[in-house]
Amino acid sequence: MISISDNQKIGIAISGFGMLFLFLGMLLFFDKGLLAMGNIMFLCGLALIIGLERTFRFFFQRQKMKGSVAFFGGIFVVLMGFPFTGMCIESYGFFVIFSGFFPVAINFIRRIPIIGNLLNLPGLSHIAAKLEGQSRYNV
């Protein structure tokens, strides 16, 4: 079993609250305050989970620089008071940064009993295959 330090436990809680605030901010018509708090809490929690140095190395890799600039630029735009535009920019950056993780996540989700069956439905299987990077006609 993997042991989790107290800082990592706190980081998981802070990241969870950050995602909750981001969700509530979008649900409440892009509330600036909730989105700003969610962004800051998510980044602080991530830094506590994997460490400050590894967080910087993750975001500032050469191949992820385009996504990192969009992600942090989106956070800055949200903090400046333009929540919808900032979240669009931030979402693009998030997609570019974590696009390498999508195949792993899709394969993991396919192994979950009920959700895995949903991913095999005609429309969703095509989307999942595109996110996973597979061709539809693999043999």
The three state secondary structure string of 49-87 is HHCHHHHHHHHCCHHHHHHHHHHHHHHHHHHHCCHHHHH
Percent of the chain topping pLDDT 70: 96
pLDDT on residue 139: 46
Confidence of residue 18 (pLDDT cuts 50, 70, 90): very high
Pick the range with the lowest mean pLDDT from 23-32, 72-81, 130-139: 130-139
Q: For 73-118, how does the pLDDT look when each residue is reduced to its tens digit (9 = 90+)?
A: 999 999 999 999 999 999 999 999 988 888 888 888 888 888 888 8
Q: For 50-68, how does the pLDDT look when each residue is reduced to its tens digit (9 = 90+)?
A: 999 999 999 999 999 999 9
Distance CA 59, CA 93 (A): 11
Q: What is the mean pLDDT of the chain?
A: 90
Determine the Cα angle at 105 with ends 14 and 129, to 5°: 145
Distance CA 77, CA 90 (A): 9
- The pTM of the full predicted model, rounded to 2 decimals, is 0.79
pLDDT on residue 114: 85
pLDDT on residue 21: 97
pLDDT on residue 137: 52
